[in-house]
Amino acid sequence: MKRVCALVGPTAFSAVMKRRRAGGSSHFDLFVLAASDRLVIESDTAVPPDWRLGCVIGRKAVRRAVDRNLARRIVREALRAAIDRGLKPGDYVFRARRELGPDSVKARKGPDRASFRRAMREEVDQLLVRHCRVSAPAAVAG
């Protein structure tokens, strides 16, 4: 499995977010900076990693820290899976744009939280498939 490095620092985030929004869903915005464009912007002599991920998930969009961490974890998992399906190298920033959390989908404890996780993962996968030309994930049985 290939490693996804974190996008660190305000300069790296602003370089990606200066670009036009690559796509959006009901809860996320996606910003993409291709690796070829990144090499022009960065003046470092070190070779940057192929894939870098940044998540902007603030308290206004997701109230509970548990849900913010869950959203970040799901985005990382989806990006790693997309890399295995042919995602092109670059910088990817996901920004939560509106209320996201189990309370927003009327979920509480138990199986509703699991359905919330599945729904969020499907939303991130669809965003990557639609706007980054990645093959769709295989259907999960169960």
**Is the pLDDT confidence value at 105 over 70?**
no
* Domain assignment of residue 138, yes or no: no
Q: Residue 108 — very low, low, confident or very high, per pLDDT cuts 50/70/90?
A: very low
Of the candidates 36, 38, 34, 31, the residue with the CA atom closest to the CA atom of residue 17: 31
Tell me how many domains the chain contains: 1
* Domain assignment of residue 142, yes or no: no
* Domain assignment of residue 140, yes or no: no
The pLDDT value given to residue 90: 87
**Is the pLDDT confidence value at 84 over 80?**
yes
Which residue type is seen at 28? F
* Domain assignment of residue 93, yes or no: yes
Domain that holds residue 39: 5-132
The pLDDT value given to residue 3: 67
Q: Residue 107 — very low, low, confident or very high, per pLDDT cuts 50/70/90?
A: very low
**Is the pLDDT confidence value at 7 over 90?**
no
Q: What percent of the chain has pLDDT over 70?
A: 75
Residues 6+ apart with CB under 8 A from 40: none
* Domain assignment of residue 11, yes or no: yes
User: What CATH number should be reported for the domain holding residue 102?
Assistant: 3.30.230.10
* Domain assignment of residue 141, yes or no: no
Of the candidates 116, 103, 139, 123, the residue with the CA atom closest to the CA atom of residue 30: 123
**Is the pLDDT confidence value at 127 over 50?**
yes
What average pLDDT does range 36-61 have in this prediction? 72
